[in-house]
Amino acid sequence: MPQLTGLTDVHCHLVPYVDDGADNLDEALQLVAMQAQQGVSVIYCTPHLRAGMFETPQEKVDRQFERLRQAAAALPGAPRLYLGRENHCDKTLLDNLRTGQARTLGGGNWLLIEYSSRHSRREVLRYLQAVLDAGYRPVIAHVERYPCITQDPGLARLMVKQGAWLQVNAAAVMGREGLRTRWFCRRLLKQDLVHLIASDAHHVDMRTPNLGDCARFLSRRLPQEQFARIFYDNPACLAGLPAHAAL
């Protein structure tokens, strides 16, 4: 099957020197080139922001991102790069919500948030409501990783009903993170609860860009309309672009 094009990766760690993603600018540029080879034309770089673990000041993130963006522009067929953060649900996020300093995807109204494996159902819903109350649209990063959601079939649907969009990782969909995780992702897809799929790429030798691989894999397995929503229409909504079938 020919390579799909025009894809958007809404969650990856390409900015060097700021988290556990790209180790340096050379690796970051290799990752951008790999994304282009996967058919990706838009990338949202989403460095971690987590109290006590990933606390790189925003000024440094901005500086390193701009350095990457300028260098990547010289690559053949370079994707367009935008900046966000992967906001962990903790005190830092609550402080940023209160002060209006939460870093969204590309400066729009969509906020990528992640939970930990220890968050309870009550905490998950509390943070979700805090994001909504602050006026942001929440995107839940790699929803397949949270036991309180994977073990509670109704929680994912409730979160969507309250206004969340659910993102799953491409590797998980393709079964590269275990059969149980694959089964959960397939169940979400069957129930039409997946809004976005992303690579969550970190490095050139592990957790690599793979969004195009996943798109080809699902193009033969999903209804055409659902496939278009996940890979084209919903990502367009993040940038405020028109989409004919946004969820």
Domain ranges within the chain, ordered by starting residue: 7-238
d(CA 197, CA 40): 12
d(CA 19, CA 154): 33
Residue 87, C-beta contacts closer than 8 angstroms, at least 6 positions apart: 49, 93, 96, 102, 103, 111, 112, 113, 114
What pLDDT shows up at residue 1?
59
The answer to whether residue 17 scores a pLDDT higher than 80 is yes
| Nearest Cα residue to 16 out of 211, 203, 209, 205 | 203
Superfamily of domain 7-238: Metal-dependent hydrolases (3.20.20.140)
What pairs with residue 42 in β-bridges? 8, 80
The answer to whether residue 127 scores a pLDDT higher than 70 is yes
- pTM score, two decimals? 0.95
What pairs with residue 138 in β-bridges? 111
What pairs with residue 54 in β-bridges? 50
**pLDDT band for position 234 (cuts 50, 70, 90):** very high
Mean pLDDT of the chain: 95
The answer to whether residue 204 scores a pLDDT higher than 50 is yes
**pLDDT band for position 63 (cuts 50, 70, 90):** very high
Looking at the chain, the whole-number percentage of residues with pLDDT higher than 70 is 96
The answer to whether residue 244 scores a pLDDT higher than 50 is no
What pLDDT shows up at residue 3?
76
Length of the chain: 247
pLDDT digits (tens, 9 = 90+) for 78-116: 999 999 999 999 999 999 999 999 999 999 999 999 999
